[in-house]
A and B are shown apart, each in its own frame.
Chain A
Amino acid sequence: DVKVTQSSRYLVKRTGEKVFLECVQDMDHENMFWYRQDPGLGLRLIYFSYDVKMKEKGDIPEGYSVSREKKERFSLILESASTNQTSMYLCASSPRVEQFFGPGTRLTVL
């Protein structure tokens, strides 16, 4: 079975802090994704990566950056957290089309 793990299930940070969300997959998938999920809005793509050190902006990249130094790991970085970044963050990996999701990180920015 594909396994996608995320470093934290719950995280509380203060406005202005730098936040790192980590995602690791164990299936050697080329593609990895970061989404945020908000009630009534579904999932919105923040960034994705189709290879090591490669990244592409998704639909809502503002305020976020990413890093993919190794194939199995994809990190989402909030350079200076703001309260409007309070959300559920979901990581996914994909061999080509279907995506496999991690359990999510619920981030609260105070």
Chain B
Amino acid sequence: AQSVTQPDIHITVSEGASLELRCNYSYGATPYLFWYVQSPGQGLQLLLKYFSGDTLVQGIKGFEAEFKRSQSSFNLRKPSVHWSDAAEYFCAVGALMFSGGYNKLIFGAGTRLAVHP
């Protein structure tokens, strides 16, 4: 069965420090992979996505993620964190629903990021 694991429930970093949020997935075929961010009381905003091609993808707000097929991972990185990055981050994999090509998303449980000044 398809699944997404985000091993870290909470992460705290200092402002200006680098960040890596981990995501591992289980999916039989080549996955569609996503990272979303959710600020308190808000909906989810798409940070970046991987469909195919270059395994290092750039997103909004200075984030990037690297797809590593051998490790079934899609970790999110940012070289220098800003206080406004404090939020909850969700990794998701697109799973084929049926032969019509419809896809749903399976989400990890999320990682809550706190940023110290």
Asked whether A90 lies within 8 Å of B46 as measured between CB atoms, the reply is no
Chain A nearest Cβ from B31, distance in angstroms: 10
Contacts A31-B102, A41-B109, A48-B104 given; does A102 touch B43 at CB 8 Å: yes
Residues 67-110 of A contacting B (Cβ, < 8 Å) = 90, 92, 94, 96-104, 106
The residues of A that contact B36 with a CB separation of less than 8 Å are 101
Whether the pair B102, A40 counts as a contact (CB closer than 8 A) is no
Is A101's CB under 8 angstroms from B45's CB?
Answer: yes
Separation of A42 and B25 alpha carbons in the complex (Å): 14
B44 pairs with A101, CB closer than 8 A: yes
The CA of A97 and the CA of B103, in the complex, are separated in Å by: 6
Residue contact A50 to B43, C-beta cutoff 8 Å: no
Are A96 and B104 in touch, CB under 8 angstroms? Answer: no
Query: Could you say which residues of chain A place their CB within 8 Å of the CB of B94?
Result: 97-98
Asked, given contacts A40-B9, A43-B90, whether A98 binds B46 with beta carbons under 8 Å apart, the answer is yes
Residues of A within 8 A of B110 (CB): 42
Pair B41/A104 contact, Cβ less than 8 Å? yes
The answer for the CA separation of A100 and B36 in the assembled complex, in Å, is 10
Is A52 in the interface zone, CB < 8 Å from B? no
Q: Give the one of A33, A45, A90, A98 with max B CB within 10 A.
A: A98
Q: Is B32's CB under 8 angstroms from A97's CB? A: yes
**Per-residue B-contact encoding for A35-67, CB less than 8 Å = 1, 0 else:** 000001111010010100000101000000000
Q: Is B42 an interface residue (CB 8 A)?
A: yes
User: Is the pair A43, B9 in contact by a Cβ cutoff of 8 Å?
Assistant: no
What are 21 A-B pairs with beta-carbon distances under 8 A? A31-B102, A40-B9, A40-B109, A42-B107, A42-B108, A42-B110, A43-B105, A45-B104, A45-B105, A50-B100, A56-B97, A90-B44, A92-B44, A96-B103, A97-B51, A97-B94, A98-B49, A101-B44, A101-B45, A104-B42, A106-B41
Q: Enumerate chain A interface residues (CB-CB to B < 8 A).
A: 4, 9, 31, 33, 40-43, 45, 48, 50, 56, 58, 90, 92, 94, 96-104, 106
Q: A45-B105, A50-B102 are in contact. List 7 more A-B contacts (CB 8 A).
A: A4-B43, A42-B90, A43-B107, A56-B97, A94-B103, A98-B49, A101-B36
